[in-house]
Amino acid sequence: MVNFKFNAYTEMLFGKGQISNLPEVLKGYGKNVLLAYGGGSIKRNGIYNTIKELLKDFNIVELDGIEPNPRIETVRRGVELCRENNIDVVLAVGGGSTIDCSKVVAAGVSYEGDTWDLVKEPSKIDKVLPIVTVLTMAATGSEMDQFAVISKMDTNEKLGTSSWNMIPKTSICDPEYLYTLPSIQTAAGTADIMSHVFEEYFSKTTDAFVQDKFAEGLLQTCIKYCPIALKDPENYEARANLMWASSMALNGLCGSGKEGAWSCHPIEHELSAFYDITHGVGLAIVTPRWMRYILSENTVDKFVEYAINVWHMPVKEDKFALANEAIDATEKFFKDCGIPMTLEELNIDETYFDNMAKSAVSHGGLAYAYVPLNEGDVRKILEMCL
Ligand code: NZQ
Ligand code: ZN
C-alpha cells in the first residue's frame, strides 16, 4: 500500500428530515446565500419550496439552470452573481452537476483571471467560499469529495479539477429526495458509483486488502439495491444504501493507498465532451468492454477475485472462463437496469474516435492506468462499444 492522506472533511447529515438543520448550518457562514440548482427538478418535487421557506431570514440569490455536464459559461455567471451580491456561502441543491458547478463558482470568486484557468490548472485554486450541499442524486460522490468536472463544449473539453478547499463543509443527504429520480438516472448513477469503485479496485497496488473489502461491499450494495429502487422508487432502504454508497465510493475509503490513473472515466469524459451524454450511461457502456480488453494473464486473478467475492460465482478451474462470466454479469446488470449498452443507441459513430482517444490519453494519464492504454488501445475499446 502506498502512503496516503485520508481526510473526510465533510460533515454528513444523513437521513429523513435532515433539511431542518439547514438554517443552523448556513448561519455560521453569513446571511448572503447563493442557491444553485439545475433545470427545475427541485421545483417539481418540492425541495425548492422547503428550502425557501426554511431560509426566510437569509438573502437568497439564485443560480438556476445548471446543465447536466455543467458548462463553464454557467460557472462564470455564478461567479458574477457572487461578486455582485457579496455572497457568503454557496448552497448547491442537486446532483453532481450542480455541486461541481458550485465548487468552481466558489473557487472563482477570489480568482482574478478566467475561471476556466481553475479547471485547467487546479493549483491555481486558492480561496474558496464555503460550500454546503443538499444532495438529490446518488452517483458522483461530489457531496463528499474535492473534485469538480466542468465542460467547455466549443472546444469539446470536459475536464476534472480538484482542491481540498472545494470539499463541501456540510452535505445534507435525505434518501427521500431520490424518490423522484427518473429510472435512467437511478441506473446511470449506480453505474457511476460502481465505476468509481472499479477504477480503484482494479489497481496496480495489490496489497490494500482493507480498501478492496470496502470496494466489494459497495459493489454488492449497488447490485442488490439498484434493481429494488428501479422497481419500487420509494423504497427507503434501497435509496438510503445507494445514497451512502455514492458518498463512500469516492471519499478516499476505497482509493487511498492505491496507485495508478483511472481508465474508464477519461474515456467516458471524451464521449460526454463530444456528445453531451449522461456520464453514468457512458461508463456503463465502456466498462465491460474495457474489462474484456484488459483481461490477460496479468489481470485474470483480480477478475477471479471479483467474480467470487462480488458475484458469488463458484470457483472454476478455468480462470479465464470465470473472469469472462463476471464481465458478462457486469454488462447484463447494466442492461437489466435499463441502460442503453451500445454507442449506436446514442447515435454515436466513429467520426471522433481518434480525437477522443488522443485527448483521453493526454488528459487522463492513461499511460499510468492499471493496464496502460495508448491511443490505439482507446480506439479499439471505443470500437468495441459501437
Ligand atoms: O437539472 P435538474 O432539473 O435538477 O435534473 C437533474 C438532471 O437532469 C436530474 N435530477 C437530479 N436529482 C433529481 C433529478 N430529477 C428528479 N429528481 C431528483 N431528485 O438528474 C439529471 C442528472 O443530474 P446530474 O447532476 O447531471 O447527475 P450526476 O449526479 O450524475 O452528475 C453528473 C456530473 O458529475 C460529474 C459528471 O462527469 C457529470 O458532469 N462527475 C463528478 C465527479 C465528482 N465531482 O467527483 C466524479 C464523477 O466521476 C463525474 O465525472
Ligand atoms: Zn464518475
The model's pTM is 0.98
* Ligand 1 pocket, Cβ-based, cut-off 6 angstroms: 38-42, 45, 68-69, 94-98, 100, 136-137, 139-142, 145, 147-149, 177-178, 180-181, 185, 189, 192, 250, 265, 279-280
pLDDT confidence tier of residue 286, bands split at 50, 70 and 90: very high
Q: What is the pLDDT of residue 360?
A: 97
Q: Cα of 83 to ligand 2 centre, how many Å?
A: 31
Q: Which of 93, 78, 1, 87 is nearest to 40 (CA)?
A: 93
Q: Cα of 193 to ligand 2 centre, how many Å?
A: 7
10 Å Cβ neighbour count for 93?
A: 27
Q: How far apart are CA 243 and CA 339, in angstroms?
A: 19
Residue-wise pLDDT for 35-45, tens only, equals: 999 999 999 99
Q: Which residue has the cell 439564485?
A: 62
In sequence order, what DSSP letters do the residues of 131-146 get, joined into one string?
Answer: EEEEE--SSS-GGGSS
Q: What is the pLDDT of residue 187?
A: 98
* Residue 271 grid coordinates: 464521449
* Residue 202 grid coordinates: 482494479
Q: Which residue has the cell 455536464?
A: 69
Residue-wise pLDDT for 341-377, tens only, equals: 999 999 999 999 999 999 999 999 999 999 999 999 9
The preferred substitution site among 42, 51, 97, 144 for testing ligand 1, maximizing ligand atoms within 8 Å of CB, is 97
**Given the CA of residue 195, which atom of ligand 1 is nearest to it?**
48
Q: How far apart are CA 132 and CA 90, in angstroms?
A: 6
In sequence order, what DSSP letters do the residues of 53-114 get, joined into one string?
Answer: HHTTTSEEEEE--PPSS-BHHHHHHHHHHHHHHT--EEEEEESHHHHHHHHHHHHHTT-SS-
Q: Residue 184 corresponds to which amino acid?
A: I
Report CA-CA distances (Å) from 117 to 75, 114, 121, 217: 12, 6, 6, 38
**Given the CA of residue 41, which atom of ligand 1 is nearest to it?**
3
Spatial CB neighbours of 324, under 8 Å, sequence gap ≥ 6: 292, 295
Q: What residues are paired with 36 via a beta bridge?
A: 63, 92
Instruction: Enumerate residues with CB within 5 Å of ligand 2 (an ion).
Output: 192
If DSSP codes are grouped into helix, strand and coil, which group holds residue 240?
helix
pLDDT confidence tier of residue 279, bands split at 50, 70 and 90: very high
